Copies of this chain bind each other. A is one copy, B any other.
Amino acid sequence: MRRDEIVTGASQGGAAARRGGGRGTTGRRRASHSLEAVISEAVAILDESGEPGLTFRALAARLGTGVGSIYWYVSSKDELLERAADSVLAGVLAQTAHVGTDPDPIADVRAIAIAFYEATVNRPWLGAYFLQDSGTQINGLTLYDRMGRQVMRLDLTRRQQFDAVSAVMAFVVGVAADRGQDPPQEVRDGRVSADEFVADFRAQIRELGEQDFPFLFNIADEFAAHDDAEQFRAGLDLLLAGIRQQAAG
């Protein structure tokens, strides 16, 4: 996979320069696809069965086509995953299009970060692929820029602005990577309830002993009761408090 060129949504880019469109002016051929259809179906598979579930054969079957056809739109599985991740970012961008009006710039940063986070909920596969793309994929850059515009309104040096935006983005990705992997197979299947799982985990922490793991022991109840989204916002607010303090002098 190349990363030395910024890939915009519609134009250039190796074998994937082929645009969708599918239907021309008249009827269709054998089976008409499009880049958008390929990627949205890929996202659907990823959401249902995760990254291991996304195979070219499974995707082809779902599109009612052959494996070879997919390679007309996408040159490798890496590119497929990149485009899938980027298409999710497009949704985040749409949701944060209005941002930039709040008198407090940090409130806007917060809104963007939360929208970004929420897009990763129930999408474990995104965590690993996000920042991999954000460097070169257009939607990742746009999101980065959108957050940066708000930070520019603060009284910070350029370097401080750069560091602040990078920190917030890294934090969101880190939380996403964590949260995504959390519930094991048994819980996803429904074989074990979430409450049972949490209770088991708490019991196991307790068994480790207070002497050897005082913090874990101390925190066991909080773990059992905590809400992921709430914890994300709590951490985000700590980071934003640091930024605000820096901007204040």
Inside 8 A of A219's CB, which chain B residues have their CB?
A: 148, 158, 161-162
* Interface: A167 (CB within 8 A): yes
By a CB distance below 8 angstroms, the chain B residues around A223 are 162
Q: Cβ of A148 and Cβ of B218 under 8 Å apart?
A: yes
Most B CB atoms within 10 A — which of A162, A218, A237? A162
A144: B residues at CB distance < 8 A: 215-216
Q: Does A99 contact B (CB under 8 A)?
A: no
Number of A residues contacting the other chain (C-beta, 8 Å)? 75
Nearest chain B residue, comparing its CB with the CB of A237: B242
In the bound complex, do residue A167 and residue B197 qualify as a contact, i.e. CB atoms below 8 Å apart?
no
State whether B238 touches A131 (Cβ < 8 A): no
Interface of A is mostly: helix
Interchain Cβ contacts under 8 Å between A and B, 24 examples: A4-B184, A4-B201, A127-B177, A130-B177, A131-B174, A135-B182, A135-B201, A141-B213, A141-B216, A145-B215, A145-B216, A148-B214, A148-B215, A158-B218, A163-B234, A166-B178, A167-B238, A170-B174, A171-B174, A173-B173, A173-B174, A174-B175, A238-B246, A241-B245
Add 13 more A-B contacts to A127-B177, A161-B219, A239-B242 (CB < 8 A): A4-B197, A127-B128, A141-B216, A148-B216, A148-B218, A159-B222, A162-B222, A163-B238, A164-B238, A170-B175, A240-B242, A241-B246, A242-B245
